[in-house]
Structure 1
Amino acid sequence: MAEIRASFFVECEELLEALQDGLHALETGTDDGDAIHVIFRAVHSIKGGAGAFGLDHMVTFSHRYETVLDAVRDARLAVTTDLLGLFFRAADHLSDIVRAAREDEDFPVATSAALLSELDAHAADPQPADQPQEPDFAPVALSLDLLNDPETKNETALNRYQIYFTPEPELFETANDVPHIFAALAELGDLTVKCDTNRVPTLNQLAPEAVYLSWALSLDTIVDEAEVASIFEFVDGLCELQILPGPTTSVADEADTSAEPGKSNASSAPLSEPEASAPPRDTKNKTFVRVDIERVERLVNLVGELVINQAMLSQSMQSAGLSPHSDAMNGLEEFQRLTRDIQDSVMMIRAQPVKSLFQRMSRIVREASASVSKDVRLITDGETTEVDKTVIERLADPLTHMIRNAVDHGIEPAHARVENGKPAQGAIHLRASHRSGRVIIDVSDDGGGIDRARVFQTAKDKELVSADANLSDADIDNLLFLPGFSTASSVSDLSGRGVGMDVVRTAIHALGGRITISSEPGQGTLFSISLPLTLAVLDGMVVDVAGETLVLPLSVVSETLTLTKANVEALGPGRSVVRNRGAFLPLLDLGSVLGYRTISDSFVDRIALVLTLEDEVSIALVVDEIQDQRQVVIKGLDDSFYRAPGIAAATILGDGQIALILDPADIVAHANAGGAISSTYHVQEARA
């Protein structure tokens, strides 16, 4: 029972996601006509499963929620902005009830009273959506008595349907049952059921949780195919279903045909041999297996150890002096290829779309905007972008701080927006994309932008910067990340304690990422987060610098250069550029930037790596030697280690040596701050 209960809550997460998708489709006007049915099915399925586990409050709330949804589904209630807002709040509340039940917490039932009252008010007095309040016709209830009425028997057309139904194990885990489905079908007309038991194994081979039965059904009814299919809407995706319409006949014809001796009903043939006539299984349907995340993490760790051992084996065989064309070396190459394929497959298992994270942010926007009495909507893009599961989990907290900050500080009050020629409703954009081997998440708003004068003055008042400091716009923007900094005049539920943006930067750095700010006064602010795709394995270039072995992400290395007198030009002490493909690139000595040695006077005959970062900035990094290109397993540095600029993590090489993994963008930022390079090279002016 514990396993079934756990499976139910996993199913609830999927249903809540579908519920949010449907509500979002209604809100944005992208509804294709099926959204309300998706919403209703999600709430109904949660209610059914909750009843099986005795979760009474979840059942009560879901039932009264779906009552209002049913009124909308039947066009008895129009979807207005206020009603849609109520549906969103009810979905959020239902999510809280599910979470409390999953964690065995006592949910404060009284908190549901206000929402239930609002839902009941709409259910008690529904307003019709697309029809007059008082219909000018008398509704006709269809029943089986109509089929037996002598006056209508000869005039009633019957539709015949052959139905092939095979449930999946998940159907029973959601508290659905086959007899109830068939009972609902029987209410539509004359139903004949034939069960196929050919796949049932012997008792010693029987798996208790497997499903071996399938059914072939024949239904004669006066309703159309859509209504027949609606019987199965609550088990959509939990079964294999095919509904095949047959010839339309009258009740009288059906009676004559069944009574005529020597003739059999053609439609009954499939029922006698369902295994022969049932349609083949659709091999294109995907089957999903739910696996405990701890098992996936163990598999990832084992693959990491496999990569390390493969590197050790490769280095040992090379040290032994074996011929590159020997059978052993050929086998090693095949082993390397298989190791990479396994690693890629495991990373795909860990990768998840950011959709679930973005949906959580929708709730944050609703609650934060209500708290400060602002009208703000969230616009998302790139929800299908896949990121390592660990990254998604640890990104929720910093994103929450940023969204709340955008609502509270970024978006102006409605009257101020209207005065400035903007719509009264503010907008926050949340985007995700892949770029240069990393995932980029942008949080932007169309508010008033950063008031840099106020930020600078606040920093001086709090003695976070000296009174005579001369800071650029970018430096002032970065003051927002200082511990204890806040421009809020008073402490509120959203801000004022000076811990938000500092927490954001700390969390992003812990993930091996970076965060940057850009803002235009009166136009808005953009926070851009750059994160690694995975926290497990990366393709790296192993280099030697001043006797140290280092690893650079291969995704940022575009080419290598040999420096000569013709392509290197000095601009001043410690500042040089290299000519490459008609452009000048800043030249950095990696050893001096990391503090391994003093700045070199000459770079002639040295090796340089041309790096292209995600912001399209290119630089040339001088190294002593390139060892190899290989996969390396990322080993995060413990919090007890000092976070040195430019160092992202560490790894274990094939010879057992520990090597540091570098963060190229952080190296450039650190070199820029130390005066090694400037943010923009005006080479032509410097030469003049």
Structure 2
Amino acid sequence: MSTDPMAEIKASFFVECDELLESLQDALTDMDEGNYDSETINVVFRAVHSIKGGAGAFGLDALVAFAHRYETVMDEVRSGRLEIDHGSLKLFFHTADFLADQVSAARDGLPEPDGSEACLQELEALMGDALPAPVEEDVSDFQPMGLSLDLGITDADFGDFGLPSLDDGASEHDAAWSLTFTPSDALYASGNDPAHLLRTLRELGDVTVRCDLTALPEFDALDTQQSYLSWHATLPGELDESDIREVFDFVEDVCSLELTRETQTTPEADDNLPLADLAPQIEAAPNSVAPTDVVPTEPPESEPNNTAPADKPAAAPAPVAPPLKGAPQANATAEPGATVRVDLERIDRLVNLVGELVINQAMLAQSVAEAGLPQNSKVMTGLEAFMMLTRDIQDSVMMIRAQPVKPLFQRMGRIVREASAAVAKEVRLRTEGEATEVDKTVIERLADTLTHMIRNAVDHGLETPDIREAAGKPREGVITLSAQHRSGRVVIEITDDGAGINRKKVLEKAISKGLVPPEANLSDGEIDNLLFLPGFSTADQISALSGRGVGMDVVRSSIQALGGRIAITSEPGKGTRFSISLPLTLAVLDGMVINVAGETLVVPLSAIIETATLTSDDIRSLGPQTNVIHVRGDFVPLYDLGAELGYRAPKSSYEGGIVLLTAQDDGERSALVVDAIMEQRQVVIKGLQQSYGHIPGVAAATILGDGQIALILDPADLVQNASGRTRGFDIALAG
């Protein structure tokens, strides 16, 4: 069965496109925050330029055409001929969204996305008459060379297309630039095309280019995987060196480039060199590249990257403060990190195997403990070393799966733009903690949840511009999306600066829908949580974003399925915050193994602040059936785990009992009474959601070293659903 020899290189190209689109969004966000320096603008230009160049190598004509027209506008921006305002920047974001759609369509073999042409017309309207309409190039006459070098160069690239040759006496310059460009084998293997680079060079001005065939061997000695050609060019002396080198920025590590000043007015051609005139028809095809017949070789160990790094300073033309001539290139000493692309399925299998390794290590430890071997025996020493190695392996595997939330947050930027346009509101998205790393599975399953919440914040949370202005607020609303690690979990918060939750309206809606009885006396927090009830909506009419009563209940279910929880805080007139707390990974965690009423349970170690033994002086009565404990000047509610989980009735006395002091996401503390603490252990998480649904207070289950199944508790959810009863009713009356 035949396979596409370009498939691997093409896949690498689309991976690089994702990175370029990410850097593009970063730069546009910087510009939206008022940073219009040349480096930021050039990051946008280079990202689009790189996508266009790579797409041309693979014949992705629709992507090339779209990127070229976007690139042309950004070139006007970086040259200072087009000023940026709020409207144009909004359009640049919109075009970047369509560029991402174009990349996805090209990758999946789908038709061009609807609305792309309309977006480009808006972009061209921004330019007025300064932007030339694209002209499609007829490449039907391009035929491979008779020598069939298969290097991506055709006869058309070597013919005379009307430009003056060196012998004809090009425009005289006092000090013309002389350029020698020699590609290496790796340049062709990475999908680059010298003809495209030379066409771009021709756009700088009156340039004369000749191809050097000196190194070309006889036909019988040709190796189609080697590079034999080089090119010599003469460029106008008034050009800036940085502009010339910029053409070759993305291939400078896979080619030889010599650039010098020539004082003579017209260099003399050497008749002994077999030079061929090279002058591609740039005027006829500003957005096209030469077709290629590339026969790829195996990619080198460190595959050349033909894209601009997101953090690499980019040279700018003279109108936007170019760097000093002769300054070293930004990536001259940068060494790209070696990467390997691995299927996610293989990583998942590795994670599962590590989980089984943890279980077997626990079983081995249990067997050794039951054998009664002394602590200083060789078996115990070896077991401890094995446990340390198991933890190191588990940590390393988790790091492989961990990814920053930045790509997810960037996707939310588009959701904000589309949602705000749908409801005619002015909204800005701010992000914080984008480098926070979370398990890839968590990120993937969180995308739809955040989409629901962002749309809800735009539609319900923020007021219209006129209402905000009347309230003394800026017309533009702000939604802040943040992520941070806290107590061994990741906390993602969605905050808006809108009007806050109208609790009176929420309660009236809930009563009218029969969700709560009319006589219900609910606290602010209980009213806020009504938003998560199925079928609840405060929208007066159905819109494209909301009003059907489907959304927030699905959000909570999705978060609970991830072993997480969600909380709401709102202040009238100032806004609302939704806090999502999630485990860092869905595979393994450190837990405290406890015993309650003869049952073995596990409490996540990250949720425990400290442990303590109760005395009579610590315990205080609060109401007829509730106790609290006194901890360093504060009173903390006491919860009997055995009673809350239904294992037994509340104890008559807790003196001498053991408590686990835990912290909630809002900083509140609680004390959980347990019968015994057995050990601290790394446990493998086995989900229960799919089989049993959400169980209040229970996050998952695990298999212990003796083969016993133990429940993993969620202290925060347990406290939220607890009765708080720590005193028997008859005991209370007797007291």
Q: Say if 1:41 and 1:234, in contact at 8 Å, map to a contact too.
A: no
From 507, 519, 531, give the equivalent of 1:468: 519
**What is the CA-CA distance between 1:667 and the residue it aligns to?**
1.1
Cα distance, 1:647–1:166 mapped onto 2, change above 3 Å = farther
More helix by share: 1
Query: Where does 1:216-295 land on structure 2 (aligned, <5 Å)?
Result: 222=237, 224-235=240-251, 239=253, 250-251=263-264, 285-295=336-346
Asked if structure 2 preserves the Cα contact closer than 8 Å seen for 1:195 and 1:213, the reply is no
| Aligned equivalent of 1:48, options 46, 53, 74 | 53
For the structure 1 residues 660 and 160, does the alpha-carbon distance in structure 2 shift closer, same or farther, using more than 3 Å as the test?
A: same
Is 662-671 or 58-67 further displaced after alignment? 58-67
Q: 1:670 aligns with which of 721, 724, 727?
A: 721
Say yes or no: does 1:67 pair with 2:118: no
The yes-or-no answer on 1:100 pairing with 2:105 is yes
Paired position in structure 2 for 1:681: none
- Taking the aligned partners of 2:229 and 2:363, their CA distance within structure 1 comes to 57
Q: Which of 159, 168, 175 in structure 2 is aligned with 1:156?
A: 175
Q: Is the 8 A contact 1:574 1:599 kept in 2?
A: no
Partner SS for 2:622: strand
Partner Cα separation in structure 1 for residue 81 and residue 250 of structure 2: 21
Question: How many angstroms does 1:448 deviate by?
Answer: 0.8
Q: What residue in structure 2 maps to residue 435 of structure 1?
A: 486
The answer as to 2:17 corresponding to 1:12 is: yes
**Counterpart secondary structure, 2:691:** coil
Structure 1 residue 611, shift from structure 2 partner: 1.6
Return the letter of the residue paired with 1:526. R
Which residue of the partner structure matches residue 118 of structure 1? 122
Residue pair 1:586, 1:677 contacting (<8 A) in 2 also: no
User: Counterpart amino acid of 2:719?
Assistant: V
Match of 2:696 in 1: 645
Q: What is the SS of the residue equivalent to 1:349?
A: helix
**Partner-residue secondary structure (3-state), 1:518:** strand
- Provide the residue aligned with 2:635 in structure 1: 584
Aligned to 2:463: 412
Q: Bigger shift: 49-58 or 354-363?
A: 49-58
Q: 1:520 corresponds to which residue?
A: 571
SS in 2 for 1:668: helix
1:284 is displaced (CA, Å) by 5.4
Whether the 8 Å CA contact 1:165–1:240 is kept in 2: the answer is yes
- Determine the structure 2 residue equivalent to 1:593: 644
Deviation at 1:488, TM superposition (A): 1.0
Pair 566,27 (structure 1): closer, same or farther in 2 beyond 3 Å: same
Residues 318-337 of structure 1: pairs in structure 2 closer than 5 A = 318-337=369-388
Cα deviation 1:497-530 (Å, max 9, x = unaligned):
0011111111111111111111111111111111
Return the letter of the residue paired with 1:401: H
Report the more deviating stretch, 360-369 or 49-58: 49-58
Determine the C-alpha separation between the residues in 1 that align with 2:186 and 2:520.
68
**Structure 2 CA distance for aligned equivalents of residues 630 and 213 of structure 1:** 59
2:512 maps to 1:507: no
CA distance in 2, matches of 1:54, 1:94: 16
DSSP-derived class of the 1:543 partner: strand
Shift of 1:118: 1.6
Q: What does 1:274-423 correspond to in 2, within 5 Å? A: 285-423=336-474
> Structure 1 residues 195 and 412 mapped into 2: Cα distance closer, same or farther (>3 Å)?
farther
CA distance in 2, matches of 1:532, 1:446: 28
How far residue 419 of structure 1 moved from its aligned partner, in angstroms, is 0.9
2:708 matches 1:657:
yes
Give 1:125's aligned amino acid. Answer: D
Shift in Å at residue 84 of structure 1? 1.5
Q: Which residue is equivalent to 1:561?
A: 612
Contact in 1 for aligned 2:491/2:579 (Cα 8 Å) = yes
Distance 2:23 2:214 in 1: 33
Unaligned runs of 5+ in 1: 128-141, 197-205, 256-279, 679-688
* Alpha-carbon distance between aligned partners in 2 of 1:365 and 1:386, rounded to the nearest angstrom: 23
In structure 2, what residue type is equivalent to 1:381? E
Call closer, same or farther: CA 1:147–1:677 in 2, change over 3 Å.
farther
Q: Which has the larger displacement, 601-610 or 61-70?
A: 61-70
Aligned pair in 2 of structure 1 residues 665, 81: CA closer, same or farther (>3 Å)?
same
**Deviation at residue 184 of structure 1 after TM alignment:** 6.7
Deviation digits for residues 567-607 of structure 1 (CA, Å, limit 9, x no counterpart) = 22333444222233343322221111111111112111221
* Residue aligned with 1:125, SS: helix
Which residue is 1:684 aligned to?
none
Paired AA for residue 348 in structure 2 = E
Equivalent pair of 1:185/1:191 in contact (CA under 8 Å): no
The structural deviation recorded for 1:235 is 4.5
SS of the residue corresponding to residue 445 of structure 2 reads helix
Q: Distance in 2 between matches of 1:20 and 1:71?
A: 19
Structure 1 counterpart of 2:86, from 81, 89, 99: 81
1:73 CA drift (Å): 2.6
Quote how far apart the aligned CAs of 1:143 are. 10
- Given that residues 574 and 601 in structure 1 are in contact (C-alpha distance below 8 angstroms), is that contact kept between their aligned partners in structure 2? no
Equivalent pair of 1:41/1:233 in contact (CA under 8 Å): no
Matched, 1:483 2:534: yes
Q: Within 2, Cα distance between the matches of 1:321 and 1:574?
A: 45
Letter in 2 for 1:483: P
**Distance verdict in 2 for CA 1:562–1:281, change over 3 Å:** same
Once structures 1 and 2 are overlaid, which stretch shifts more, 397-406 or 37-46? 37-46
Cα 1:592–1:94, aligned 2, differ >3 Å: closer, same or farther?
A: same
| TM-score, normalisation: structure 1 | 0.81
- Counterpart of 2:527 in 1: which secondary structure? helix
SS at match of 1:640: helix
Paired position in structure 1 for 2:293: none
Aligned to 1:139: none
The one-letter code of the counterpart of 1:119 is L
Distance 1:183 1:107, change over 3 A: closer
Residue pairs, 1:609-620, within 5 angstroms: 609-620=660-671
177-186 or 412-421, which moves further after superposition? 177-186
Aligned to 1:539: 590
In 2, distance between residues paired with 1:213 and 1:346? Answer: 41
> CA deviation digits over 1:142-176, x for unaligned, max 9?
99969978986xx5387999x9987878x855x32
Of 364-373 and 59-68, more deviation after overlay is shown by 59-68
Q: What letter is aligned with 1:45?
A: S
Is the alpha carbon distance of 1:213 and 1:282 closer, same or farther for their aligned partners in structure 2, counting shifts above 3 Å?
farther
Q: Could you tell me how far apart the structure 1 residues matched to 2:167 and 2:523 are?
A: 83
Q: What secondary structure sits across from 1:471 in the alignment?
A: coil
How many residues are treated as equivalent by the alignment? 617
1:35 aligns with 2:40: yes
Q: CA RMSD in A?
A: 3.6
Greater displacement, 64-73 / 421-430: 64-73
